Amino acid sequence: MAKSTFERYGGFAAISKVVSAFYDKVLDSPELSKYFETIDMRRQIDHQTKFMASLMGGPASFTNQELERAHARYSITRAEFDEMLELLKESLEDFDFEDDDVTEVVQNFSSRANFVIHS
């Protein structure tokens, strides 16, 4: 049986490092950092690690309705969403993810755009 992307890259501990690096980039962004000014980043990183695990075939799941509910109060634009995708791609590449795996994760994230963008 083939291992999932989640398993191949080391599970929750390794994915948490990727997510942490991703949020370092997000918090450096003038456009994106405003969404996290009042957010407990430790909790956010934990939550996002589980979400990323779900995108990689790991033991977590999120419904599109949960995703939509979590982002409904924000006016996230397409440009901001695309910047998040680019920062995610860079973060995965920084941790030496194979090109096909980067594409898979980014596409899985991108396919949920309609549940995140609310502008």
55 and 80 Cβ atoms separated by less than 8 Å: no
pLDDT at 1 over 80: no
24, two tokens: 């370092």
64 and 112 Cβ atoms separated by less than 8 Å: yes
Does domain 11-115 fall into CATH 3.60.10.10?
Answer: no
Domain ranges of the chain: 11-115
Q: What pTM value is reported for the model?
A: 0.92
Number of helical H runs and strand E runs in the chain: 6, 0
Q: What is the pLDDT of residues 20-56, one digit of tens each?
A: 999 999 999 999 999 999 999 999 999 999 999 999 9
Worst-scoring range by mean pLDDT, 22-31, 64-73, 88-97? 64-73
Give the Cα separation of 6 and 46 in Å (integer). 15
Return the pLDDT at 61. Answer: 83
Share the mean pLDDT of the chain: 94
DSSP string, 35-84: GGTTS-HHHHHHHHHHHHHHHTT-S----HHHHHHHHTTS---HHHHHHH
70, two tokens: 């979590």
- CA-closest candidate to residue 8, choices 111, 105, 114, 109: 105
* Triad 117, 63, 100: Cα angle to 5°: 75
